[in-house]
Structure 1
Amino acid sequence: MRILLAAAVACVMTASPALACPEAQDLYRKGWYPEYVQKMAELADGGNLECSFTLGTVLRDGVLATQDFDGAMKRLRFSADRGHAFSQFEIGTMYDNGYGVAQDQAEAARWYQKAADQNFGMAQYNLGVLYQDGLGVPKDAAKAEQLFALSRENVTNTGQ
């Protein structure tokens, strides 16, 4: 199910959130988590999309900081609106699963499509499931299969 794919990604991200915000890695490695979160916020406020994305996932999951869905969406939207595919995917999973927002598969499909258009394999897979099941989009088995094929290729080629 889609939530499993998102959960696997979340495990990778929470295992080492410093990987996506290298400018703050030293603070993370030293275990200075409040300072790390503050540094990510400063970098995100300065326009760093990777740090905005990472901070969004940290706030969404309540890892290293208090869980804050509104703050998470703000950070993820900042980077997603600037073309960050992983952020677009994460917003899609939030809507898809009703995680911190009202469940809305049509809105999930819209965000997955943005990431899928950038060959983001996990988004292609989740969008394929929506088409397969007719959730938020018209049921379309051929489109689902096409998205699954693209997903297999892109996840393998990018190491997602």
Structure 2
Amino acid sequence: MTNHRTPRNRAKTAILADDKGHRQRLVVGTFAALLLALAAVGAMVSQSGAAEPAAEAPAAASEATGHDLYRRGYYPEAIEEWTKAADENGDAGAAFRLGEEYFDAKVVKRDVPTAVKYLTLGAEGGDDRAQQDLATMYDNGWGVTADVDKAAYWYLEAAKRGSAVAQYNIATMYETGTGVEQDIEKAYMYYLLAVQGGFPHFATTELENVSRTMTAEQIKEATLMAREFKPLDEETEERDS
């Protein structure tokens, strides 16, 4: 018996070797596939465990949203929206709306102390409508002790922000020296601004009356002051830009 391989044996060995090698490749291939599968599963688990994107926060309560509800007749919802906006967000416009509603008693029971509370909040927050209304409360003693100094203060704050009604009111106080030091030129300036700002009915007559007590130079100076006037918010925006 010989130990050398015949061609047939070599062929058989080659086949076995090929078969063995093929099986090895299958094992390697299967192992690689298993690794890929495990990696894919891991990725899926990782993705499923990842934090989901945070839901968008609901829009903050605001005067505008409350006004839209009010306009459509949803009065309780509007009051609730304004209350939340004023109390939680410090929305001066919403505070003004509440002050107006609690004083006028259109859709809520009249509550003058609450009206004063919200008008004060709105005025301190820079809303010229609230400032004008709060000044009127102090001017007439509605829900507060009458105080011409506080009335003049809030009229002036609203006038500086461009309220034509407040400009007329503070002009009358500058003309007579009520709550402020008398200043005819400032009276003329604010009467003129009130006329230009859309409150001509009374302001035009008062402008003509006060002009009769002034010199040409005073009128010229007051007119220049009116021409150079810019509402407070616009001045702030220009300074910050």
TM-score band w.r.t. shorter chain: 0.7 to 0.9
How far did residue 128 of structure 1 move?
A: 0.6
Q: C-alpha distance in 2, partners of 1:132/1:100?
A: 27
**Corresponding residue of 1:33:** 75
Distance change in 2, residues 1:82/1:24 (3 Å) = closer
Q: C-alpha distance in 2, partners of 1:130/1:26?
A: 37
Distance change in 2, residues 1:30/1:84 (3 Å) = closer
Q: C-alpha distance in 1, partners of 2:72/2:101?
A: 18
Q: C-alpha distance in 1, partners of 2:71/2:190?
A: 38
Residues 104 and 110, structure 2, Cα contact 8 Å, conserved in 1: yes
SS at match of 1:27: helix
Across the two proteins, how many residue pairs are aligned to each other?
138
Residues 120 and 155, structure 1, Cα contact 8 Å, conserved in 2: no
How far did residue 58 of structure 1 move?
A: 0.6
Where do 5+ consecutive residues of structure 1 fail to align? 1-19
**Corresponding residue of 1:69:** 112
**Corresponding residue of 2:12:** none
**Corresponding residue of 2:131:** 88
How far did residue 29 of structure 1 move?
A: 4.0
Q: C-alpha distance in 2, partners of 1:53/1:92?
A: 13
**Corresponding residue of 2:63:** 21
How far did residue 75 of structure 1 move?
A: 1.2
Q: Which of 1 and 2 has greater Rg?
A: 2
Q: C-alpha distance in 2, partners of 1:144/1:128?
A: 4
How far did residue 30 of structure 1 move?
A: 4.5
Q: Which amino acid aligns with 1:33?
A: Y
Choose from 173, 188, 206 the match for 1:145: 188
Q: C-alpha distance in 1, partners of 2:142/2:98?
A: 16
**Corresponding residue of 2:163:** 120
1:52-67 correspondence to structure 2 within 5 Å: 52-67=95-110
**TM-score between the two structures when normalised by the length of structure 2:** 0.51
**Corresponding residue of 1:105:** 148
Choose from 90, 94, 97 the match for 1:51: 94
SS at match of 1:65: coil
Q: C-alpha distance in 2, partners of 1:84/1:28?
A: 20
Pairwise CA RMSD of aligned residues? 2.3
Q: C-alpha distance in 2, partners of 1:96/1:114?
A: 14
SS at match of 1:109: helix
Deviating more after overlay: 105-114 vs 63-72: 63-72
**Corresponding residue of 2:173:** 130
Where do 5+ consecutive residues of structure 2 fail to align? 1-61, 200-241
Q: C-alpha distance in 2, partners of 1:114/1:25?
A: 25
Deviating more after overlay: 103-112 vs 66-75: 66-75
Q: C-alpha distance in 1, partners of 2:183/2:70?
A: 45
Q: C-alpha distance in 2, partners of 1:111/1:25?
A: 25
How far did residue 26 of structure 1 move?
A: 4.8
Residues 131 and 158, structure 2, Cα contact 8 Å, conserved in 1: yes
Residues 131 and 137, structure 1, Cα contact 8 Å, conserved in 2: yes
Q: Which has the higher contact order (CA 8 A, sep 6+)?
A: 1
